[in-house]
Amino acid sequence: MQSQDRHRVVAIDGPAASGKSSVARELARRLGFVYVNSGAMYRAVTWHVLQHGVDPADNPRVIQLIESAPITCDLQNNESRILIDDVDPADRLRDDRVNDGVALVSRIPRVREILVEKLRSYVRDRDLVMEGRDIGSVVFPDTPYKFYIDASPEVRRRRRALQGGRDSIASRDRADSSRSASPLVIAKDADFIDTSNLTIAEVIAEIISRLKLKNLRGLA
Ligand code: DC
């Protein structure tokens, strides 16, 4: 029996700038669930690698560093938080060098193994909305509540620019979808939602109505 048999997980996967962070955070608030941003964990360990002067393409050194890093995953205001060496790197996670390095670090199977275990530990005693790339396909494949949200490349580029993001959506899409370890895929039992012409509120309303159809307990 997997632990999510006792606690519920709503998985929200999708590519960069699909709107999944805004949707997942607000959905969690509405449901009273904890919000977990798995991308922030991949970004935090990438930041740690760079802080130590390690090349993100140097797999053995990256693995050695992450295996020995004191990584603490806890909660702050009902949202996931990651501390490495007791430092919270939240303000640095969107730096250009992290944007550039995260695809290299996140394609390493051993790194994914370590982080997937930490992500799963969040469900031991709470209900979650977790967003990422492989939440419905790998981290919690048994959850019945999984969504894949997407938007056209043009809309995603516009959204990223409005957020002040400087990373290349196209190259990260390519890297996330083509890596061999847990690539970005649409889980076969995920509900697909195209958010190109929807507001955040409309996407959330759509997800909540589908969760009702799936009989998620506790929804009004
Ligand atoms: O969601 P984001 O853009 O902050 O994610 C940053 C990177 O982390 C993304 O390019 C791929 C990686 N990632 C991943 O491999 N698996 C996840 N579950 C979440 C993110």
Residue 218 counted as domain residue? no
Residue 219 counted as domain residue? no
Distance CA 35, CA 29 (A): 8
Whether residue 65 contacts residue 101, with contact meaning beta carbons closer than 8 Å, is answered with no
Tell me, what DSSP letter sits at residue 15?
Answer: -
77 C-beta neighbours (distance < 10 Å), count:
8
Protein residue with least CA distance to atom 15, ligand 1: 106
The enclosing domain of 116 has a CATH number of 3.40.50.300
Residue 220 counted as domain residue? no
Share of the chain above pLDDT 70, in %: 97
Residue 157 counted as domain residue? yes
Q: 63 C-alpha to center of ligand 1: Å?
A: 17
Pocket test for ligand 1, best of 13, 38, 149 (most atoms within 8 A of CB): 38
168 C-beta neighbours (distance < 10 Å), count:
15
What is the model's pTM? 0.93
Residue 40, pLDDT score: 97
Q: Residues 48-91: pLDDT tens digits?
A: 999 999 999 999 999 999 999 999 999 999 999 999 999 999 99
The mean per-residue pLDDT over the stretch 159-187 comes to 84
Q: Report the number of distinct structural domains present in the chain.
A: 1
Of 193, 196, 188, which is closest to residue 204 (Cα–Cα)? 193
Tell me which residue range forms the domain holding 7: 2-213
Q: 107 C-alpha to center of ligand 1: Å?
A: 10
Q: Tell whether ligand 1 has an atom less than 6 A from the beta carbon of residue 106.
A: yes
Residue 175 counted as domain residue? yes
Q: 99 C-alpha to center of ligand 1: Å?
A: 10
Protein residue with least CA distance to atom 16, ligand 1: 133
